[in-house]
Amino acid sequence: MITRRTLALAGAALPFATAARAQDIGSTQRPLRIGVTAGPHAQVMEKVREIAARDGLAIRIVEFQDFIQPNAALAAGDLDANSYQHQPFLDQQVRDRRLPLVSVAKTMIFPMGLYSRRHRSAAAIPAGGRVAIPNDPTNGGRALVLLAANGLFRLRDGADFRATVADITENPRRIRVVELEAAQLPRVLEEVEAATINTNFAIPAGLNPVRDAIALESCDSPYANLIAVRQQDQGAPWVRRLVAAYQNQEVKDFVQATFQGAVVPAF
């Protein structure tokens, strides 16, 4: 990992080295460092790397197990781009953590699903049952909207991905909402009545959203995932080449063949 001290020392030579480094980015000597979460994002990026290599663009994939570190690493300069999040989540991170990051392209839609080891429908979840949701602000709100849409409770009028449990206005079934780290949700399915799980964590856990979810977001979900870079890099030539490699028909075909509707291209 590039330390802050290393970055500070490198900064001293910046005026003399910037042009050379810009030309080197994406070469075999200096591959693009792309952060992804493990699972489908990593699988798709492997295909992107294959396509980019044919254009002479080298990529090194860096996998993460959570939603916070890929943005922190990108902002710190340890990555050149990341591909794992949707726009509402990026907006929240930029606002709350003052990160100099921007979106440069849409990638995939990963519909959030409601899963259960005990029930075959949301209607079967019993009164007083515990339902787990992600504990990060945007995916937590997204989960609450999904649960409300399937009749578990009612939210205030106009509630969206920014909703919290405080926005539950009617809960006649006394559903108990349990907030946990998103990556942990597949592991607690035996302990709760149901859990709302992001597709990028569901698939590695052996869950197929199309087959296994008892409720699923529609494919016109506004939560299209994206490629993010630092603001200073958004006009760089390598960004255009990366986006072209990702938004390639071969990638679309790979996604459709591999995930069978569980992941939907957004380009």
CATH number at residue 36: 3.40.190.10
Q: Are residues 50 and 85 in the same domain?
A: yes
Residue 121 structural domain: 113-216
Residue 126 resides in a domain: yes
Q: Are residues 101 and 229 in the same domain?
A: yes
Residue where a domain stops, chosen among 181, 197, 216: 216
Stated as kind and residue range, the H or E segment containing 257 is helix 249-259
CA–CA gap between residue 241 and residue 149 (Å, rounded): 40
pLDDT digits (tens, 9 = 90+) for 59-99: 999 999 999 999 999 999 999 999 999 999 999 999 999 99
DSSP 227: E
Q: Are residues 60 and 91 in the same domain?
A: yes
Question: Which range (2-6, 110-114, 207-211, 247-251) has the least confidence?
Answer: 2-6
Q: Are residues 233 and 106 in the same domain?
A: yes
pLDDT at 219 (0 to 100): 65
21, pLDDT greater than 70:
no
Q: Are residues 75 and 88 in the same domain?
A: yes
Number of domains in the chain: 2
Q: Are residues 102 and 231 in the same domain?
A: yes
Residue 17 resides in a domain: no
- Overall pTM surpassing 0.75 (yes/no): yes
CA–CA gap between residue 121 and residue 110 (Å, rounded): 21
Residue 4 resides in a domain: no
Task: Tell me the two tokens of residue 40.
Answer: 């489908």
Q: Are residues 231 and 212 in the same domain?
A: no
CA–CA gap between residue 262 and residue 50 (Å, rounded): 22
Residue where a domain stops, chosen among 176, 196, 216: 216
Alpha-carbon Rg for the chain, nearest whole angstrom, is: 20
